[in-house]
Structure 1
Amino acid sequence: MIVTKIEKQKNNNKRYSVFIDNEFAFGIDEIDLLYYKIKENEPLDKDKYNYILNKLLLKRAKDKALKYLGYKMRSKKQVIKKLQEYEFPSNVINKVIKVLEKYNYINDEDFAKAFIKDKVNLKGYGTFKISYDLKMLGVDEEIFKKYLYDECFINESQKAKDLLLKKLKGKNIEDLDYKEKQKVYAYLARRGFSYDSINKAFNYLLEEF
């Protein structure tokens, strides 16, 4: 095995991408590159290569993942993406993910439940937006839909009412003209609330007043 190219990574000038026999092999920290004396146009011993891949990089990837998870909960896709940014080999990433899942550091169901509660209670988002965001974070719809559409877990209609009252700022909904009602309706829709929940909120306030 010949190290044919070593180049700095674009997003981290203290990490390098190592190419063996003209193919990308792994990303490695500068300190490890120097310690293991990996140089361009020189052979890389197979035993050293296996150690770097299966021991050193595995430990480094675990450390990076745990540090990333230390700030807040993440989805499986987020952790994979973060490790890919450091250019860890796919087999190393897969091993790390399996370990993290085994010890419940990654759990997309727990992540989805916490995410839904946060976005509903703190951000005031509706189910449409939350569903879209969770999909973008790589969480399978089968995992989160049982919570997102369960009124025992969250009550979107009630949240829509609360947000509508907040938006009205004490005004009587019957005093709003058509354009003002449309603006408030559009605001709730942008927050990701379903048309059914918005209509229920409007009807509830009209009945109250």
Structure 2
Amino acid sequence: MRKITKIEVQKNNASRFNIYIDDSFELGISDDTLVKLNLKKGDDVTPEFLTQIKQQEFQQQAIQQALNHLSYRKRSTREVYNHLAKQDFPENVINHAIEYCKMQNLIDHKDYVESLKNTMIRTTDKGPEVFRQKLMEAGIEDSLIQQVVAQYEVEQPFDKIVKVGNKIKEKKQGPSKKRQQYVQQSLMQKGYTLETIKDVLETLDFSEDPEMMDNLLQRDLEKVYNKYVKKYDGYQLKMKTTEALMRKGYAYDAIKLKLEESGIVDES
């Protein structure tokens, strides 16, 4: 019968041990494996028991990988599972590691969603739909998602969203209609609901400075006209130019007046 003849602490890692069987090095194990199997010098080692030691150590490695992954921030079950799967641990070993982490209260979806909610509200300009998407990607239960997303909407300060909308508005020049569309689209991309966006748009000031708008229309007219004059002329050129400017949000009457001021007339 083979026996454990020596157990020594590894030189570079005090939490790991080298196991010698019949005076020959057999394998390294963690202190958790050592304690769990109560290994000690003089123990008999059958082939079956050696397999058990190796299996326990393999399981412990998966647990340690999970603990390391959880040490940086809170994780969901899916996130831990995916991390261990990338390390090529089999499903049964992964599931056991996850159960261990849950027993230690290291994986807790209620705590996870609450923490993520508070962090996103405090540090980002993202709306509840982005929050919802992150929870879905993390594999959080639907019932919990619905509950916490509703809390997100209630707790996110409206004045902060208005500031986000105003910042977006200031980046865009042009007609009021086009600026409103730009703010709406940008807020939707940031995950805000249509109802919230509507309230924000009603709060923001989209009034236009006549002189600035006249200058912008003149600038855009020149750009559009110079583009289409290479392809069209006469009535068709005038209509193509008008349509392009209307798509930019300018009013038809303002475009017509600017065309006349610029000497662009229907030559058909």
Q: Normalising by structure 2, what TM-score?
A: 0.54
Question: Once the 2 structures are TM-superposed, how far is the Cα of residue 165 of structure 1 from its aligned partner?
Answer: 2.5
Question: Once the 2 structures are TM-superposed, how far is the Cα of residue 136 of structure 1 from its aligned partner?
Answer: 0.8
The amino acid that maps onto 2:83 is: K
Q: 1:202 maps to which residue?
A: 201
The amino acid that maps onto 1:100 is: C
* Contact kept in structure 2, 1:73 and 1:111, CA below 8 Å: yes
The amino acid that maps onto 1:77 is: R
- Within-5 A mapping of 1:60-209: 60-150=61-151, 154-155=155-156, 157-169=158-170, 177-205=176-204
Change in 2 beyond 3 A, CA 1:76/1:158? farther
Q: Deviations over 1:48-91 (max 9, x none)?
A: 333222x2012111111111111111111101111111122222
Q: 1:7 maps to which residue?
A: none
Question: Once the 2 structures are TM-superposed, how far is the Cα of residue 35 of structure 1 from its aligned partner?
Answer: 4.7
| Counterpart Cα distance in 1 of 2:135 and 2:72 | 19
Between Structure 1 and Structure 2, how many residues are aligned?
167
* Contact kept in structure 2, 1:156 and 1:193, CA below 8 Å: no
**Higher RCO (Cα < 8 Å, 6 or more apart):** 1
Q: Deviations over 1:86-125 (max 9, x none)?
A: 1222222222111211121111111111112222331211
| Percent identity over paired residues | 20
Change in 2 beyond 3 A, CA 1:59/1:177? same
* Contact kept in structure 2, 1:100 and 1:106, CA below 8 Å: yes
- Structure 1 SS opposite 2:204: helix
Change in 2 beyond 3 A, CA 1:204/1:186? same
- Structure 2 SS opposite 1:63: helix
Which is higher, the Rg of structure 1 or of structure 2?
Answer: 2
* Contact kept in structure 2, 1:125 and 1:191, CA below 8 Å: yes
2:50 to 44, 48, 51: 48
| Counterpart Cα distance in 2 of 1:82 and 1:145 | 26
| Counterpart Cα distance in 2 of 1:170 and 1:47 | 69
Q: 2:42 maps to which residue?
A: none
Unaligned 5+ runs, structure 1: 1-30, 37-44
Change in 2 beyond 3 A, CA 1:103/1:65? same
Question: Once the 2 structures are TM-superposed, how far is the Cα of residue 46 of structure 1 from its aligned partner?
Answer: 3.5
* Contact kept in structure 1, 2:128 and 2:149, CA below 8 Å: yes
